[in-house]
Each structure stands twice: as structure tokens, then as C-alpha cells.
Structure 1
């Protein structure tokens, strides 16, 4: 007698909601977990790259401001140095302050420096004896600060509006009121001041210097440069916007802590940070740099400020975050799909096991427990997750390698720029900037060790004739040949530089003045004995000086060397003069 087939057991659940299936629960739990991890990793890597890009943007903006501040500082120093050298040239004033030679020299000087709108000489009572354009000749300037301070020492005045000369001179190119920066120095004879040499330069030179230094991408990147004086008042704004910013009472902006998306290093000195400006509600990425003090007279305490809208400065950083987020979402969707498939395979195995158990409980013949493959499916899921993680790490490594390569390229470019900035392209010698760096090292060593330090100022005699008679190409060949001779004749420890034109400078560490004179005479004899093709024999004049005990900087030594060079020129050239 056969037994009836037992029906599968049933469970009464009318009063309870039907629970989720195991497949759904596993898919939801593991899919959500994997998606969350993938998105968090993507956001973390994106934020790291964003911070790196923001740091580079801040450093780049600070570099722009720093370069502009150095250009302005160099301009102030060079003009003050020019006034000082001219005023101290005794042979220029030996026949008086109003000779035709003096007037002609002032007119030539103004022609070579278009921004110098007025150049004049006043006697000790403040009466203008002669000037470059005969605007104030015979008038009194005794009440002007540049005259009063110029009687005592070299003077550089802060930016001020034109008063007497405003109606006599053409308006500025940008339509703003004329503003001047004054430079003056005393003219002394036998140690007593007999007059003052003054130059009133148009403030437009600052605009030209700043515009020349703006990077080619400045307009596209919306980078703007401003100049503030020592008191924090605005004295320069781009594109003729000075009046608008002054109407807003814009003062030197105070940088604040950056937003949470910016780097902490942006708050440290020498870096850019966020600051609020009165012409906009949103903050700007702002870099504030002070003008480096090239001399006491030219240290006006100005600030050069570069700013850039944050949406422009951080555009690349925000794009990186979005790309990383989209990549994370795509990876999360892929991982969720894999988790759902794995959960389905596992639930199928469990369902078959459960069905088999019901058949066994009912005593159904042939009911067996099927062989499942859930362990293999779990292993496959783990392998997929590992592959996904490795892919994300590989993407991160690739992005880090790209950042590293760009950083190396930037460092290499900076080294190349530093070399170009310190070398003279014509002779291959050091230029003024490179010479000043070497001079600082030698001065520090001389002060610390007490060893002597001497300098030789060299100038090619009648070099203008070479250019006039043979052309500038031949003149350049003469300068290159002279530079090679100097480098060949000097010691490896000596420093030779071309400061500009036909002017060379030799720095002799550990050399007293008498030995320096021997070296200078040997150089003069060597140059004279070496004829130049198409030109013949050339000669040079030399001025020597040495560091005096107690001198803290080399300015006085260089000034004495220049004066000695002028004395050598006055003595007939092709000779060396010493001013200890």
C-alpha cells in the first residue's frame, strides 16, 4: 500500500508583513556598503588632488606678486642710484650748476628715460639753475620735500600729485591725474652742499613695469596687480580703476583663514590666502608682498598685491573633485550590480537547500541536498571588489605621478628662469642680479673672517665710437671678447660681471687694495695688448675700492669704486684710480 505524498509545510503569516528575501537583503546591505566605500575613496582622492592644485594656484599667484615687487624695488633703486652717481660726479659740476654741458646732459638723460618728466638742478638756496625742459628755471623750489631732503642725502619720495608741473605737462596716458615719484641727491664741493639734483618721474613707469611682468595668461586667469603705500592706501590699480577703488576706500586687504577647500599652508607668510575686497562680495585669492629694500633711501614700504577670483583660481580643483565623484559613482554602480548578482546566486543556492530540506522532512523519496557553489560566488565577489579597489588605487597613483611630473617640470623651469635671470646673454658673465648675490656672499664672509674684499669697476673707453664707426654687431663682439679676457685673466675665486652697456665689475675676495691695483693694471695692459679685429686696440679705465672696517654693506664701497672710475675717465682714460 503506497503512502500519500505529503504536501509541503505551510506557515500562517497573515498578520505579519512579508519580510525581504535573503537575496534582497544581501544585495541592499553589501551593495550599499560597497557603493559607500567607493564614493568615499573617490571623494578622498579628489580632495587630496584639489588641495594640491589649490596650493599650486596660491604659490603661482604669490610668484606673480613677488616678481612685480622686485621689479618696482629695482626701478626705485636704479633711479636713486642714477641720481646719486650723477650728483657725486665732481667733474660735471666743476664749472657751475647752469653750464650748457649740464643742461645738455639733463636733456639727454630725459630723452633716454621718457618717464622722467622733469630733471633739474637747484642751488643751495632752492633756485632752479637749469632743468631739462626749462619749465622751472629761475624759480624757487626751496619748499619742496625733495629739495629739503636732497640737501642732506639721497632721497626718494613717495607718490604724490603734480602741483606746479601739472598744467605745464601733457596729461597721463590713462587719463588719471599726473603723479610723481621724486629722486634727489646733494651736489657737494669740498664737502659742502652747493645744490641739489632732482628728478621727478611719472608714476606711469610703475604701470609699465607691472604690465610687462604680468604673465601671458593673466587676462584669462583674471589676475590683477595693485600697489599700496606704507600706510596701506591704494596708489596703483590696473586698467585706470584707481579712482573707483579710492571711492570705495579700498585699503590694504587683510588675508584671512581660507575656506575648508583651501590648504592650511596658504596662511603662512609668503603664500596667498583668501581676502575680501570692497568691489565684490565673494573673497579673492590674494597674495601680499612687500618691496624688498634695495637701499635705505628707496625703501618706501610699498606693498604689491595680486588677486584672483576664487572661482577662477580653483576651477581646476573643483573639476578634479567632480571627475573623481563621477568616477566613484560609476564604480559604485558597477559594484552594486556585482553584489546583486552575487546575492542572487547565493539565494538560489539557499532556496535549493531549503526546498530540499522540505522534501526530506516530508519523506519524499529521492530528496537529496544539492551541491552548492556559494563559496565560489563569495570568492568571486571578493575578487571583484579587490579589482575595483586596485583600479581606484591605480588611478590615484597615476594622478600622483602626473602631479609629480608637473612639479618636476615646474622646478626645472624655475631653475632655468633663475639661471637666465642671473646671467648676461651677450657675454655669458653674471649680470647685475647675479653679481649682487655673489657680493652678498663675499661681504658676509669678509665681515665674519675679517679678510679683505676689493672691487674693480671697468668701463671701455670711447665705446660709443666703436658702435658708431663699426656697428653694434662689432661692438657686441668687443664686449664678448673683453668678457672672455677678464674671465681668463682672473682667479677662479674672483667674480666678474657685466652690469650693463660697456660697464664691467670685478669682485676680488681675500684681496687687499694694493693687490687689487696690481690686478687692475695687469688687466688694463692685457686688454691694450690684445687688438680687436676691425677695431684695433681698445683700452679700459678702472676704479678701485675696498671694504672699510665697520662697513655693514657694500653700497659705500661700490660708490667709491664708481667715483674712482669717473676719476680715471677724467684723468685721461686707460688708467686705474683708487679711492680707499
Structure 2
């Protein structure tokens, strides 16, 4: 039977082992350790999966990390951990190297086939202090490692560090993928998503509609009411787009005052209904200039549908853009559909 690597090498209680570097076990935790362990109120929350075949190790980590605000799940085997990863979302994995079914390194290899080190940080817990073993774990994709016997304050600091790095990476990803003013996808991200949806539509025979929306006379808004008012218009129009569409729809800021919406599994008639709802909602918005005088904006929308004659995204975008051009040429504040005759009267 393996000894508990989380117990202290000195001063340990026989009936309640503590952690390396402390003699008081959980009583030390309850009274507030003088060793600089942060209280639960100061901890950053996170979902952690602990994979260790030793029940004592799992229990100690479960109790101590839970008290610090973390949401803990445990697994005794590698295959159990893989099943949990397939059905749950975790922020960090604490992984023992030596386990009976899949070794920690084998499990790490399987995990890295799906999750990169930023998406799911993995900290290895190892009694193997040879540099070659540690290097192997790091080369396989481990973010960090802890050697046994483990001092809990060290483990806690490394957990905090990896979770902080993960959240920083997520924030940078968000900044790189989304327009900061409207919180919609930026052009590059939308284009990548549109490519994926076109592939899905082609492969499975799904219908797909694309909307291009342009705010009418937006330059006059900036010229007459100022750029702050113009930013507010863009922000609120983006909010209307995000709040009006279905969860499966994808919306982005195409550039300037132009927006784009990809609607999977949507017919042209369904897309038109959604576009008219957008147009009407935007027309009802009230904005205020610096002098508190109210003003309104309208929008024009062009719609195109994916078909077998379209091989690349720019062809679909060009069709929607031509419909948008007709909407603007027909008097603005209207919806036009690619391939259908121009409406004879302005939409109301």
C-alpha cells in the first residue's frame, strides 16, 4: 500500500495526517495558517478534476480545495477521468503520474489530443524526481508539476498560477475574436465561422442564409451628433442583433457600420422574417445627441442563401452585398433578397 504523499514528514498526527510543512492538519486550516495560505474568500473559483487512485489523497485535496472556493471532482482511474472530461467542463486537472489502468503520462497524451494546455491546464503530481521524467511530462503537454511529498501551500500556489494564466489567455482570445464596441464577432472570426457553416451546409444538405445589414446615413450621425453618439448607435444596434436572433445564429461586425448574420438551417422566407424584425426593432430605437435632442436611425438589409452553385464564402457574401445594394438603391430602410425582384414599395 502506497504511503500518503500529502502527509507531513514530521510532526504528523497519527489519527489525522496533515500536509508537508505543517503539523496541524485541518486544525491549522481552520484557525488560519501563519504560512500564508489564502482564505476561501480570497480564492479564485475554478472547476478542478483530481485524478489519483489513492482515496486518502483525493479526500484531503477535495476537502482543502473545496474550503478555498474551488469546485472539485475526483476520479480514481484514468478511464473514469476521460469519461468525466467528455461530459463535464473543467478549468484544471491535477493528475497523479502512477495509476493502475492508464498511467498519468498516457492519460496526459490522450487529453492533449483534444485539449491544448491553455484550454485545460494539467499539473502532474509525481514522486519521480529524475529530470528526464519531469521533462517527458512537460514535453507531453503538462503545464507544471508537483513532486511528492507535496506541500499544500506550494500546490495551491501552482493551481492559482495556472488558473490565472488560463483566464488571461481566455481574455486575450476574446479580445482577438470580438469587436470591443459591439461585443459581436470581428470580421476575421465571423469569416472563419462562415467557412465552417458553408462546409456543414454542403456536407449535410443544410440550408443557410446570410444577412448583410448596413446602418443608413451613418456618416451623418457622426457628422451631426458626434462620434460618441455614433459609437452608441453601433453598440445598441449590435445589442439588438445579438438579442433578436436565435442562439444558433452567428453575428459579427463586418466593418464600419456594416453587420453580418449567418443563419444555419434557415430558408430565405425565414431569414426575411428575421431581417424584417431586426429592421423594425432598430427603427424604433431612440438615441440622444449631446444636446439631449432625440434622433433615430434605420437600416438596409440584403439576404442571400447558400446553394450548390456557391463554392466559396466570397460568392455568398457578394450575393448578399448585391441585395443590400438594391435595398439602398430602392430607398433604404428595407430588406431585399438575392434573386428576387426589388420590392416596389418601402418596407414599413
TM-score, structure 2 as length reference: 0.51
What residue is the counterpart of 1:433 in the other structure? 188
Secondary structure of residue in 1 paired with 2:149: helix
What residue is the counterpart of 2:117 in the other structure? none
Deviation at 1:542, TM superposition (A): 1.2
Secondary structure of residue in 1 paired with 2:182: coil
Give unpaired runs (5+ residues) of structure 2.
1-125, 142-146, 340-348
What residue is the counterpart of 1:517 in the other structure? 272
**Could you tell me whether the CA contact under 8 Å between 2:127 and 2:148 is conserved in 1?**
no
What residue is the counterpart of 1:542 in the other structure? 301
Structure 1 residue 449 and structure 2 residue 204: aligned?
A: yes
Find the partner of 1:501 among 256, 260, 264.
256
Secondary structure of residue in 1 paired with 2:222: helix
What residue is the counterpart of 1:423 in the other structure? 178
Matches within 5 A, 1:343-358: none
What residue is the counterpart of 2:330 in the other structure? 571
Cα distance in structure 2, aligned partners of 1:399 and 1:551: 57
Cα distance in structure 1, aligned partners of 2:128 and 2:299: 68
Change in CA separation of 1:401 and 1:470 when aligned onto 2, cut-off 3 Å: same
Secondary structure of residue in 1 paired with 2:231: helix
Structure 1 residue 492 and structure 2 residue 251: aligned?
A: no
What residue is the counterpart of 2:29 in the other structure? none
Cα distance in structure 2, aligned partners of 1:517 and 1:405: 49
What residue is the counterpart of 1:413 in the other structure? 168
Matches within 5 A, 1:457-468: 457-468=212-223
Deviation at 1:506, TM superposition (A): 1.4
**Could you tell me whether the CA contact under 8 Å between 1:547 and 1:554 is conserved in 2?**
no
Cα distance in structure 1, aligned partners of 2:311 and 2:213: 24
Structure 1 residue 474 and structure 2 residue 229: aligned?
A: yes
**Could you tell me whether the CA contact under 8 Å between 1:524 and 1:541 is conserved in 2?**
yes
Give unpaired runs (5+ residues) of structure 1.
1-40, 56-262, 267-391
CA distances 1:539-573 after superposition (whole Å, capped 9, x unpaired) = 11111111012534423111211232233233332
Cα distance in structure 2, aligned partners of 1:402 and 1:481: 42
**Could you tell me whether the CA contact under 8 Å between 1:422 and 1:430 is conserved in 2?**
yes
Q: Which has the higher contact order (CA 8 A, sep 6+)?
A: 1
Cα distance in structure 2, aligned partners of 1:531 and 1:404: 48
Q: How many residues align?
A: 206
Deviation at 1:423, TM superposition (A): 2.0
Change in CA separation of 1:448 and 1:396 when aligned onto 2, cut-off 3 Å: same
**Could you tell me whether the CA contact under 8 Å between 1:45 and 1:396 is conserved in 2?**
no
Secondary structure of residue in 2 paired with 1:496: strand
**Could you tell me whether the CA contact under 8 Å between 1:421 and 1:433 is conserved in 2?**
no
Change in CA separation of 1:525 and 1:403 when aligned onto 2, cut-off 3 Å: closer
**Could you tell me whether the CA contact under 8 Å between 1:454 and 1:547 is conserved in 2?**
yes
Secondary structure of residue in 2 paired with 1:454: strand
Secondary structure of residue in 2 paired with 1:577: strand
Change in CA separation of 1:44 and 1:427 when aligned onto 2, cut-off 3 Å: same
CA distances 1:422-473 after superposition (whole Å, capped 9, x unpaired) = 2221122222233234324432332233121101101111111111111111
What residue is the counterpart of 1:561 in the other structure? 320
**Could you tell me whether the CA contact under 8 Å between 2:250 and 2:262 is conserved in 1?**
yes
Cα distance in structure 2, aligned partners of 1:528 and 1:559: 26
Deviation at 1:504, TM superposition (A): 0.7
Change in CA separation of 1:543 and 1:48 when aligned onto 2, cut-off 3 Å: same
Deviation at 1:480, TM superposition (A): 1.4
Deviation at 1:405, TM superposition (A): 4.9
Cα distance in structure 2, aligned partners of 1:51 and 1:478: 54
Structure 1 residue 527 and structure 2 residue 286: aligned?
A: no
Change in CA separation of 1:402 and 1:487 when aligned onto 2, cut-off 3 Å: closer
Secondary structure of residue in 2 paired with 1:425: coil
